[in-house]
Structure 1
Amino acid sequence: MENRNYTVAYRIIHWAIAICMMLILFTIFLRSTWMNKNSVADIIRNYLATTDQSLSDDQMISLAKQIRKPMWDWHIYIGYVLVGFFSIRMLLPFLNLMKFSNPLRKGLTIKEKFQYWIYLFFYGCVAISLVTGLIIEFGPKNLKGQMEEIHVLSIYYLLAFIFIHLSGVFVAEFTTNRGLISKIISGKKKDKF
């Protein structure tokens, strides 16, 4: 296994992208659970039952969407930030600030080839997610529905990648590549736990 050095640029962009993705997942989680339009509408319905006021189901859903809109706006804003960080990540190899992990390079082990293919697949999926998100926001309205269908699928590759990535990191840390976690955090390998 090759011994990688993680430059400051690599570490900053790695953690910036990771934080953005976790925040985006958090907004998806909120939208799917506590901030679900039907759950919020039920809260409104239960509250109105204790007063002399009433709204139709459509009005309650509309109000629920308005209540959760500021939270969902954060999903969009973080998506814009992620577009920027991802673009920088794709530029860094061309600026010699990060190397490109080519799975077709000779001399790689099967494990390294697998890792590099997973990363390429992940970067492709991220690019699709970002492009579909931008089309949803800025593209023609007739494509919005199709782009949303593709964009929603992003959660599946993202959750799978996080699981594979963290599993691989912990396996490497506790077997063949001790100090990997400290290197990606501080840039220096620590020999002791």
Structure 2
Amino acid sequence: MSVIEPVKRNIDNPYQIKTYSSSLRLWHWLNAIVITGSLLTVLINSTILDDRSSAAFMKDELQKAGSVVTDKQAGSVAHAMSDNVWGIHIYFGYALVTLLVFRLVLEFFQLADQKFIRKIKGAYKDYYIIKKQRELARHELVVKTIYAIFYLLLIIMAITGLFLAFEDFFAPYKSIRHSVKDIHGFCMYIILGFIAIHLAGVYLAERKDSKGIVSDMINGGGE
């Protein structure tokens, strides 16, 4: 069993399929949409709307059309277009923060057997203390640990993103802006790695003994 494959059956009762609340499923898919949108804005600004390359492209095209454009003018237009995309990125960031708060609050209202903290504690207890269903427990513990790291990364992304979005408010801490931006960008790359691992794990699970795990996250699972 691959350690990155999510499992659709409970540790305590391997014959029972896991269930997911409607609130958790809503969070999962909205979070996927928001993260995808946020990453797309970064991709667009780092490729198509890169200030230097897009300014050169606009200058060449306008000159071909008979307009006289300076490097400074083309650069200003390119930078304005890039800023518009970053504005969209900021709104995705606000949505991500909102969803993160929603997820943290949701943890307190989830059914006991669906709480993330309880699941990771249960997997730890089954593997290290009770030593029951050790292979399944070890696998669940690894998967849940990866998810815990993902949640931590989202928290760091949210904090650093808010710092950058409201940098004027945090003017006294302007000296650390560059470091905060680096941390924000570094976390983004790790999240990209998590997404790749998650998609690979779901793909493998669907092809093996956890077939239907995607539909479970849509319809709620259970039997």
Q: TM-score, normalised by structure 1?
A: 0.89
2:146 to 103, 118, 121: 118
* Residues 137-148 of structure 1: pairs in structure 2 closer than 5 A: 137-139=165-167, 140-141=170-171, 142=174, 143-148=176-181
Contact 1:182 1:189 in 2 (8 A): no
2:218 to 180, 185, 193: 185
Unaligned runs of 5+ in 1: none
Contact 2:157 2:187 in 1 (8 A): yes
Matched with 1:43 is 57
Q: Which runs of structure 1 show a deviation greater than 6 angstroms over 4 or more consecutive aligned residues? A: none
Residue 189 of structure 1 and its aligned partner are, at CA, apart by 6.2
**Higher relative contact order (CA closer than 8 Å, sequence separation 6+):** 2
Matched with 1:82 is 96
- The one-character-per-residue Cα deviations of 1:4-60 (angstroms, maximum 9, x if unpaired) are 20110110000011110000111111011111112210122202433351313x443
SS of structure 1 residue aligned to 2:177: helix
* Structure 1 position 169 matched with structure 2 position 205: no
- The one-character-per-residue Cα deviations of 1:112-145 (angstroms, maximum 9, x if unpaired) are 1110110111111111111000001124241322
Mark the structure with the bigger radius of gyration.
Answer: 2
Q: TM-score, normalised by structure 2?
A: 0.78
Contact 2:164 2:181 in 1 (8 A): yes
2:120 to 68, 90, 102: 102
Unaligned runs of 5+ in 2: 1-8, 11-16, 128-136
- The one-character-per-residue Cα deviations of 1:120-177 (angstroms, maximum 9, x if unpaired) are 1111111111100000112424132221111111221121111111111122222121
Code of the aligned partner of 1:181: V
Cα distance in 1 for residues equivalent to 2:60 and 2:214: 48
Matched with 2:186 is 153
RMSD: 1.9
1:54 to 69, 72, 76: 69
* Structure 1 position 93 matched with structure 2 position 110: no
Residue 61 of structure 1 and its aligned partner are, at CA, apart by 2.2
Identity of aligned residues (%): 31
